[in-house]
């Protein structure tokens, strides 16, 4: 028997790290347990060769929805080349042990620290592994489940990233609680009502290590970060005070946002907080069917208040293909969500996860879904496969046009012109189809032409000006083709008479228009960008790009042929 256990993580990207295998190694404190990490983009033969070169006695894989196919293929190859045991754990195999055992010797069910510790001690002592807790294995044709292990005390778990030198510039995952107080039918966390929290003192200690190591982003995997409101606000204040350049990502419930949380968010460092709010739907029959509580009016209020604080990056989530929600009602959910004006609206599609309550609801609601990971919805009794395909096209343009951050003000004005956000995206799809070009082959300039031509076709000057504003708000002086940014004599006149207060901010002996822009608008730019308020009128604004970040915007007044800084 080889005296080595390999804990193996197959990540989605190189920048990602797997906390689960680190938690297990840390908890065991055993030098003969080693970690290996790869990505789903690595050549499988290379990964197989590397794993076999370690000649481990146990290959233990952490299995998720995004890597399950890759892991199963690896396991099958290892079994052909080695007599080693294969152990699988993680959410993807906990609720489908039967399939997992076709590719492995053991499946570890549920929480792993105590169970894996017992497994490794038994293995290294040459004991009977079938006596270990939380295991599932085949005894002939019979599947055997051993007794479940006790839940671990989260205070006893050391932060997982002991290989701290590797964290600079990396995205890491952090867990400050386990379980979830809610019962959303599409989520695996709804099956664990034993909600446990790490003390805030331990959270601070752990986060300091990541911050000192230069981690790019710490993503909390807590299913509802703000379930304990004061605790959540205190952590937000801590990362604001000590977070330096590290970004922090939290999944929160809008209904639990209170004044203290809003105050903490609106006093945070700009751009360092990412708040993800799962709206999922605004159709009440659907919300009731999936056991989700959501006060839409309250969500709209708290989202806008945090947006006006101009500190956090706020993401809203929608799920297409939920029970009872047909195409028309989803359009309304989409419009309700977009109208909250969060800068990112993530449109996802229902995934029927193994072990989730949704899996038991499929027959009731006529939900048909792919049998292979990621188990995405194909159709339901309420929405057809062709309608879901149309929503996937909307998702593509939503990502390109809106979630990219390129056309924020333009999209919100276009919704006013078209009558709804969804109608606008359908119009873009129609225009793209008319052009006969594969949308995925559209360059950024191609997309700009499609949107600008659409804006001009409406005759809405505010929409045209919103298009220009969004381009002017980019970092660096963005290039627009001459047929969009047409030469105007008044702009040449402005640069000849440019106020000295503006000229001194630009590089000396350089053409100032290479580092700035000047534009007339049909609305107050400051009111729109700072207060989300459209105040119509005639305004002139100067954009200075010398900072390298967002441009510095200055209002200009034209008086008797002269230009004055307001």
**Rounded percentage of the chain residues whose pLDDT exceeds 70:** 98
Write out pLDDT tens, residues 492-528: 999 999 999 999 989 988 999 999 999 999 999 999 9
> Within this chain, do residues 290 and 200 fall inside the same structural domain, yes or no?
yes
Same domain, 290 and 364: yes
d(CA 93, CA 353): 11
- If asked whether residues 138 and 28 sit together in one domain, one would say yes
Residue 229 sits in the same domain as residue 122: no
Q: What is the average per-residue pLDDT within 322-332? A: 98
- pLDDT for position 509: 87
The pLDDT of residue 181 is 86
Average pLDDT over residues 316-342: 98
pLDDT at 253: 94
Can you list the positions of beta strands (E) in 22-157? 33-39, 58-62, 85-89, 106-108, 135-139, 142-145
Residues 64, 92: contact at Cβ < 8 Å? yes
Give the CATH number for residue 344.
3.80.30.20
Let me know if residue 385 belongs to a domain.
no
The closest alpha carbon to 558, from 481, 490, 489, 456, belongs to 490
Highest mean pLDDT of the ranges 180-194, 526-540, 544-558: 526-540
460 domain residue, yes or no: yes
What pLDDT score does 190 carry? 61
Strand bridging mode 247-252 / 273-280 = parallel
Residue whose tokens read 């752990």: 206
Position 432 pLDDT exceeds 90: no
**pLDDT, tens only, 264-283:** 999 999 999 999 999 999 99
Indicate if the pLDDT at residue 145 is higher than 80: yes
Total structural domains within the chain: 4
Of the candidates 17, 16, 29, the one whose C-alpha atom is nearest the C-alpha of residue 157 is 29
- CA dist list (Å): 365 to 44, 182, 348: 39, 21, 19
Long-range contacts of 74-81 (CB under 8 A, 24+ apart): 74/10, 74/44, 74/47, 74/48, 75/103, 75/104, 76/103, 77/44, 77/48, 78/48, 78/51, 78/52, 79/103, 81/48, 81/52
For residue 295, the model assigns a pLDDT of 93
CA–CA distance, 167 with 130 (Å, rounded to integer): 37
- Residue 233's pLDDT band, with cuts at 50, 70 and 90, is very high
Report the pLDDT averaged over residues 141-146: 95
CA–CA dist 40, 12 (Å, integer): 6
Answer whether 51's CB lies under 8 Å from 74's CB: yes
At 453 the pLDDT is 92
Q: Are residues 226 and 363 in the same domain?
A: yes
Q: What is the mean pLDDT of the chain?
A: 93
Domain boundary at 469, 484, 499, which? 484
Other Cβ atoms closer than 10 A to 418: 18
Segments in 136-270 forming alpha helices (H): 200-212, 229-242, 259-266
Domain C-terminal end among 145, 177, 195: 145
Q: With bands split at pLDDT 50, 70 and 90, how would you rate the model's confidence at 1? A: low
Q: What percent of the chain has pLDDT over 90?
A: 81
**In a shared domain, residues 108 and 216:** no
Task: Judge whether 407 and 401 are in contact, CB under 8 Å.
Answer: yes
Whether 399 maps to a domain, the answer reads: no
Domain check: are 221 and 94 in the same one? Answer: no
Question: Pick from 451, 484, 517: which residue ends a domain?
Answer: 484
State whether 282 and 179 are in the same domain. Answer: yes
Q: Does one domain contain both 505 and 479?
A: no
| Residue 308 tokens, joined | 């006006």
Contact 555, 526 (CB under 8 A): yes
Query: Is 57 domain-assigned?
Result: yes
Q: What is the pLDDT of residues 380-431, one digit of tens each?
A: 999 999 999 999 999 999 999 999 999 999 999 999 999 999 999 999 999 8
Decide if pLDDT at 481 tops 90. Answer: no
**396 found inside a domain:** no
pLDDT value, residue 538: 96
Residue 347 lies in a domain: yes
CA angle 185, 190, 195 (to 5 degrees): 160
Angle at 312 between CA 308 and CA 317, to 5 degrees: 100
Range of the domain at 114: 5-145
Q: What is the tally of helices (H) and strands (E) in the chain?
A: 21, 21
pLDDT band at 163 (very low <50, low <70, confident <90, very high): low
Average pLDDT over every residue of 6-14 = 92
Residue 195 pLDDT class (50, 70, 90 cuts): confident
Number of neighbours of residue 439 by Cβ within 10 angstroms = 17
Q: Does 378 map to a domain?
A: no
Read off the CATH number of the domain in which 65 is found: 3.40.50.2300
Domain-embedded: residue 393: no
Residue 125 has pLDDT above 60, yes or no: yes
Query: Around 399, how many Cα atoms within 13 Å sit in the side-chain half-sphere?
Result: 10
Instruction: Please indicate, yes or no, whether residues 365 and 409 belong to a single structural domain of this protein.
Output: no
φ, ψ (nearest 5 deg) of residue 34: -120, 155
The answer on 457 and 329 residing in a single domain is: no
pTM for this prediction:
0.92
| Whether residue 308 sits in one domain with residue 170 | yes
- What are 374-381's contacts with CB under 8 Å, separation 24+? 374/65, 374/66, 375/65, 375/351, 376/321, 376/349, 376/350, 376/351, 377/320, 377/321, 377/349, 377/350, 377/351, 377/352, 379/321, 380/321, 380/322, 380/323
């Amino acid at each position: 028997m080889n005296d080595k256990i390999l804990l193996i993580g197959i990540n989605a990207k190189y920048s990602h790290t797997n906390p689960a295998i680190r938690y297990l190694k840390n908890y065991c404190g055993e030098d003969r347990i080693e970690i290996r990490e790869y990505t789903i983009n690595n050549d499988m033969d290379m990964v197989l060769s590397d794993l076999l070169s370690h000649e481990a006695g146990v290959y233990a894989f952490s299995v998720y929805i995004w890597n399950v196919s890759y892991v199963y293929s690896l396991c099958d190859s290892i079994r052909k080349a080695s007599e080693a045991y294969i152990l699988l754990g993680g959410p993807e195999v906990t609720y489908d042990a039967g399939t997992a055992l076709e590719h492995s010797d053991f499946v570890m069910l549920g929480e792993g620290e105590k169970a894996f510790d017992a497994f490794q001690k038994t293995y290294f002592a040459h004991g009977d592994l079938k006596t270990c807790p939380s295991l599932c294995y085949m005894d002939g044709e019979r599947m055997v489940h051993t007794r479940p292990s006790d839940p671990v005390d989260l205070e006893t778990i050391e932060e997982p990233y002991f290989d701290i030198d590797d964290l600079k510039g990396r995205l890491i995952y952090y867990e400050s609680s386990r379980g979830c107080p809610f019962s959303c039918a599409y989520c695996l966390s709804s099956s664990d009502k034993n909600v446990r929290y790490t003390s805030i003192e331990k959270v601070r200690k752990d986060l300091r290590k990541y911050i000192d190591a230069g981690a790019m982003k710490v993503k909390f995997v807590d299913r509802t970060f703000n379930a304990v409101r004061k605790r959540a606000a205190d952590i937000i204040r801590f990362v604001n005070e000590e977070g330096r350049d590290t970004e922090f990502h939290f999944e929160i419930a809008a209904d639990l946002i209170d004044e203290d949380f809003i105050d903490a968010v609106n006093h945070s460092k700009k751009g360092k907080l990412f708040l993800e709010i799962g709206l999922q739907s605004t159709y009440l029959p659907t919300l009731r069917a999936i056991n989700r509580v959501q006060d839409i009016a309250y969500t709209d209020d708290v989202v806008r208040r945090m947006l006006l604080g101009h500190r956090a990056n706020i993401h809203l989530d929608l799920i297409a293909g939920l029970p009872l929600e047909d195409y028309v009602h989803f359009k309304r959910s989409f419009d309700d969500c977009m109208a909250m004006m969060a800068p990112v609206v993530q449109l996802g599609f229902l995934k029927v996860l193994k072990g989730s309550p949704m899996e038991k609801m499929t027959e009731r609601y006529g939900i048909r879904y792919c049998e292979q990971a990621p188990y995405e919805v194909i159709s339901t009794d309420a929405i057809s496969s062709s309608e879901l395909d149309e929503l996937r096209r909307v998702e593509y343009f939503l990502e390109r046009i809106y979630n990219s951050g390129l056309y924020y003000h333009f999209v919100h004005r276009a919704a006013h012109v078209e009558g709804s956000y969804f109608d606008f995206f359908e119009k873009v799809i129609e225009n793209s189809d008319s052009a006969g070009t594969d949308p995925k082959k559209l360059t950024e300039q191609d997309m700009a032409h499609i949107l600008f031509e659409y804006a001009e076709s409406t005759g809405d000057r505010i929409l045209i000006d919103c298009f220009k504003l969004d381009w002017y708000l980019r970092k660096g002086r963005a290039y627009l083709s001459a047929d969009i940014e047409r030469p105007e004599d008044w702009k040449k006149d402005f640069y000849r008479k440019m106020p000295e207060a503006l000229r001194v901010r630009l590089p000396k002996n350089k053409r100032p228009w290479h580092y700035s822009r000047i534009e007339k608008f049909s609305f107050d730019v400051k009111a729109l960008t700072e207060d989300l308020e459209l105040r119509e009128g005639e305004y002139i604004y100067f954009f200075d790009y010398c900072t390298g970040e967002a441009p510095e915007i200055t209002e200009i007044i034209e008086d008797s042929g002269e230009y004055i800084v307001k």
